[in-house]
Each structure stands twice: as C-alpha cells, then as structure tokens.
C-alpha cells in the first residue's frame, strides 16, 4: 500500500514547499489537488514534479470531457497519474484511459458521487481498464449523510476483487488507517489530505501515518 498526500491547497508556493518537505521524508505519491490546478493551471503539476522529482505526481484533474486531450496534457506537464470522473460519459473515460496508455500516464477513475460504485466500476471495466479506481467519500457527503469509512472500505474491496487496483479517499485519519490494517484490507493507495496538510508538522504526521500503513 502507498500513502498519497493530496495537496488541496490554493497557495502554489505553500504546495510546492510542502511537496518538497514531504518528499524529503519519503513520500511516494504527491497529488496536485483539483483546487490548486483550477487556480494555477497545469503548470502547478510541473512545479510540484520539479520540487519532488522522485515521487509519482498525481494530477487530480477529474476530467469530465475531452478525455484524450486532458490525459495528454497531464502527461506533458509532468504528471505520472491523472484522474477522470467515473460519473462522466463512458466515451470520455475510455478516451482518457486509451490516451493515458499511449503517453505513459497511469489512469485513475474517481467514483466520487456514484450511488453504485461497484456497478459503475463493472460497467467501465467492460469498456476499458484503468490502473486504479478511487472509492471516494466526498467532504460534502461526509457532512450531510454520515456515511462511515467502513462502508467505503467494503465497496473498495469488492472492486479490488474485480482484478483492478483500488484506492480509498475522503477524510482519512489514523483511525481509518488502523482499520485498514486491522481488516487486512489490501487496497493499493490510501489518499490523505487534511490530516497531514493541516497538521502543525506535516512531515512528522506523514511519517507517523506512513509507518502505520507499512506496519512499522
């Protein structure tokens, strides 16, 4: 399992400095968050990649249209991974995955907003095979519905059993990491944002959470 740190920030300088700090203590995956990309464009992806060249950089672009073009742009600006919305047109998802494979971009389908993530994953897999599905409990949904992480994890494991990589995301703290380990849940990527980014010592918090995930 890998710990991916989501930099959902609106300050590019802070994001770059934080990426550099996290990579200095072993971060393997750094995400240029959607708010950051919306504010500063794809150049923010390049800036994070330059600050953290040994890590895999994820461009969380959540593509909803022109899938092939956005996959290609993500790669041209230094991304190792790109995300596409699982609830967009199937044609867009297929083009995103197809172009990603052609240019060397790993592709992740974000299932945020899906009322049936498992069914949608099955539908997508009939048309194309991404590198990863992200089972994502959005901030607004957490606030309004009280959906539990345990439910999210069960869905992720069902998708994992389809023979594809899976990630979990959404308000993850030490508690959720402990739950993943306790259940022996072999998800591929755990996405953590606020718990690390908003800590008084993000690097120390990353090391602590990464050690939990790695059973250290």
Sketch the domain layout of the chain as residue ranges: 2-213
Q: Is 35's pLDDT higher than 90? A: yes
At 141, the pLDDT band (50, 70, 90 cuts) reads low
Range 51-78 average pLDDT: 98
At 214, the pLDDT band (50, 70, 90 cuts) reads confident
CB 37 within 8 A of CB 62: no
The pLDDT value given to residue 148: 78
- Using alpha carbons only, how large is the chain's radius of gyration in Å? 16
Cα 186 from Cα 191, distance rounded (Å):
14
Cα 202 from Cα 192, distance rounded (Å):
11
The pLDDT value given to residue 140: 57
Q: Is 49's pLDDT higher than 50? A: yes
Tokens for 114?
């899906």
Range 168-184 average pLDDT: 91
Cα 216 from Cα 205, distance rounded (Å):
14
Using the 8-state DSSP alphabet, how is residue 211 labeled? H
At 138, the pLDDT band (50, 70, 90 cuts) reads low
Cα 175 from Cα 209, distance rounded (Å):
10
Tokens for 85?
């919305």
The pLDDT value given to residue 125: 98
Superfamily grouping for domain 2-213: Aldolase class I (3.20.20.70)
Q: Is 145's pLDDT higher than 70? A: no
What's the pTM?
A: 0.94
Q: Is 216's pLDDT higher than 70? A: no
3-state secondary structure of 90: helix
Cα 80 from Cα 90, distance rounded (Å):
22
């Amino acid at each position: 399992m890998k710990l991916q740190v989501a930099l959902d920030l609106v300050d590019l300088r802070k994001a770059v400095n934080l990426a550099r700090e996290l990579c200095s203590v072993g971060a393997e995956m750094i995400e240029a968050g959607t708010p950051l990309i919306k504010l500063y464009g794809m150049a923010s992806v390049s800036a994070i990649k330059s600050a953290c060249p040994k890590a895999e950089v994820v461009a969380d672009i959540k593509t909803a249209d022109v899938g092939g073009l956005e996959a290609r742009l993500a790669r041209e600006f230094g991304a190792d991974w790109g995300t596409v919305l699982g609830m967009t047109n199937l044609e867009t998802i297929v083009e995103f995955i197809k172009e990603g494979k052609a240019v060397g971009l790993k592709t992740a389908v974000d299932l945020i907003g899906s009322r049936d993530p498992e069914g949608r994953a099955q539908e997508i897999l009939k048309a194309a095979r991404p590198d990863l599905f992200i089972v994502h409990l959005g901030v607004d949904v957490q606030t309004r519905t009280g959906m539990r992480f345990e439910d999210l994890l069960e869905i992720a494991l069902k998708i994992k059993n389809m023979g594809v990589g899976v990630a979990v995301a959404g308000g993850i703290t030490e508690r959720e990491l402990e739950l993943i380990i306790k259940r022996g849940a072999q998800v591929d990527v755990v996405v953590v944002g606020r718990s690390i980014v908003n800590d008084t010592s993000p690097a120390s918090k990353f090391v602590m959470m990464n050690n939990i995930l790695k059973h250290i």
